[in-house]
């Protein structure tokens, strides 16, 4: 049961988290907010951006802010699943007897930075699937639970696609958000250069620990959602399917595969956190609409027509939002 103290704590901690992250990351407000929302809601984040825009720095800063163990895995084509999950190795005891002992991989941490995740082979990428969804790792038939909170913050580069392995839909679906990290503005660029001239190291301090983060998640989960708002979120999700009963015209024209039910779950979970961060005790339509882009953009598969007409996933989502919000049948 949520108490007044929990609500106050949530507000204070959120403020602290944003303050501390802003010490390391200049600009990128939406990306920072999106990442924090996903972390509070318990989702994984895929950060996509060109090199040098601060993706890795953001993740490292978050590790410091949440005071959580942080692992960085640089994905390369020769990276093996065991390099991620860990493996059984033969060890000898004091009597000289050999036995297998599990050597945990870097995934046994709280925050995982999967850098350039699309450079690893699908087999290695798949090693993350179980960890991302069930927060467990199974090696040699033995399942091991990962410590909570557990997040995977992956990055990928939208260019230099040679020698990369695009993430399969199943993998993509495990990410709550896909955030596009834009290039900084001129003012931001000046601030970044100015700051990094002094020190390259992250300076953010701990704003809350893992336990407090879990409590924040619990608090956010209690935020009520009106039936109409919930329905609107589900209609939006369903409208991305070209063959659903709520199929939008944009989906029929440009989308091959729509978003899964996980998208609906992610929308609501994230919207609750967003509402509470804004100091509101209920989810609003605006929360759903704002979160539709990061939640849906990586879950919809565009068709050939969209590619030919250069219609991006974000364009399609905008069309769907316009259509759904104006349709009297799905009236807000």
Candidates 38-46, 75-83, 278-286, 295-303; binding stretch for another protein (CB under 8 A): 278-286
d(CA 53, CA 183): 6
Using rule CB under 8 A, residue 285 touches another protein: yes
In the list 92, 231, 280, 326, the residue contacting another protein (rule: CB under 8 A) is 280
In the list 282, 315, 327, 330, the residue contacting another protein (rule: CB under 8 A) is 282
Would you give the binding string for another protein spanning residues 7-46, x where CB under 8 A is met? x---------------------------------------
Residue 13 or 110 having the CB closest to another protein: 13
In the list 187, 211, 228, 309, the residue contacting another protein (rule: CB under 8 A) is 228
Using rule CB under 8 A, residue 225 touches another protein: yes
d(CA 197, CA 230): 48
Place of tokens 């068709």: 303
Percent helix, strand and coil across the chain, each rounded to 5? 50, 15, 35
The answer to whether the CB of 95 falls within 8 A of the CB of 52 is no
Selection from 206, 158, 210 nearest residue 179 by Cα: 158
d(CA 69, CA 46): 19
By CB under 8 A, the residues from 203 to 222 that bind another protein are 222
Residue 3 or 98 having the CB closest to another protein: 3
* Residue 25, phi then psi, degrees to nearest 5: -115, 120
Would you give the binding string for another protein spanning residues 247-266, x where CB under 8 A is met? --------------------
Whole-number minimum distance, CB 273 to another protein, in Å? 14
DSSP notation for 83-151: HHHEEEEEEE-TTS-EEEEEEE-TTSSSEEEEETGGGS-HHHHHHHHHHHHHSEEEETTEEEEPPSS-E
Residue 2 or 247 having the CB closest to another protein: 2
Using rule CB under 8 A, residue 226 touches another protein: yes
In the list 91, 160, 194, 281, the residue contacting another protein (rule: CB under 8 A) is 281
Whole-number minimum distance, CB 8 to another protein, in Å? 11
Q: Are strands 86-92 and 301-302 parallel, antiparallel or unpaired?
A: unpaired
C-alpha to C-alpha distances, 238 to 78, 108, 292, nearest whole angstrom? 39, 35, 12
Using rule CB under 8 A, residue 326 touches another protein: no
Q: Which residues bind another protein (CB under 8 A)?
A: 1-4, 7, 222-229, 280-286, 332
């Amino acid at each position: 049961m949520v108490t007044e103290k929990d609500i106050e704590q949530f507000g204070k901690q959120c403020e602290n988290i944003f303050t501390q992250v802003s010490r390391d990351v200049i600009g990128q407000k939406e990306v920072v907010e999106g990442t924090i929302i996903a972390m509070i809601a318990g989702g994984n984040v895929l950060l996509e951006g060109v090199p040098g825009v601060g993706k890795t720095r953001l993740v490292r800063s978050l590790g410091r802010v949440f005071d959580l163990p942080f692992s960085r895995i640089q994905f390369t084509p020769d990276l093996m699943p065991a390099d991620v999950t860990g493996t059984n190795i033969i060890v000898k005891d004091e009597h000289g007897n050999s036995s297998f002992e599990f050597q945990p991989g870097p995934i046994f941490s709280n925050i995982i930075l999967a850098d350039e995740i699309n450079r690893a082979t699908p087999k290695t990428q798949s090693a993350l699937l179980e960890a991302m969804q069930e927060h467990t790792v199974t090696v040699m038939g033995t399942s091991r639970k990962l410590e909570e909170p557990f997040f995977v913050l992956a990055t990928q580069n939208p260019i230099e696609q040679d020698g990369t392995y695009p993430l399969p839909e199943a993998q993509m679906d495990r990410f709550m958000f896909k955030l596009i990290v834009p290039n900084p503005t001129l003012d931001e660029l000046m601030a970044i250069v100015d700051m990094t001239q002094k020190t390259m190291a992250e300076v953010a301090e701990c704003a809350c620990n893992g336990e407090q983060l879990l409590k924040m998640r619990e608090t956010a989960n209690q935020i009520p959602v009106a039936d109409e708002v919930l329905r609107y979120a589900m209609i939006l999700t369903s409208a991305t399917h070209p063959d659903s009963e709520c199929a939008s015209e944009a989906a029929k024209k440009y989308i091959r595969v729509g978003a899964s039910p996980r998208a609906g779950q992610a929308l609501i979970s994230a919207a609750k956190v967003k509402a509470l961060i804004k100091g509101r005790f209920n989810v609003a339509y605006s929360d759903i609409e704002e979160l539709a882009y990061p939640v849906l953009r990586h879950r919809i598969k565009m068709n050939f027509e969209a590619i030919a007409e250069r219609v991006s996933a974000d364009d399609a989502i905008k069309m769907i939002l316009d259509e759904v919000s104006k349709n009297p049948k799905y009236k807000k």
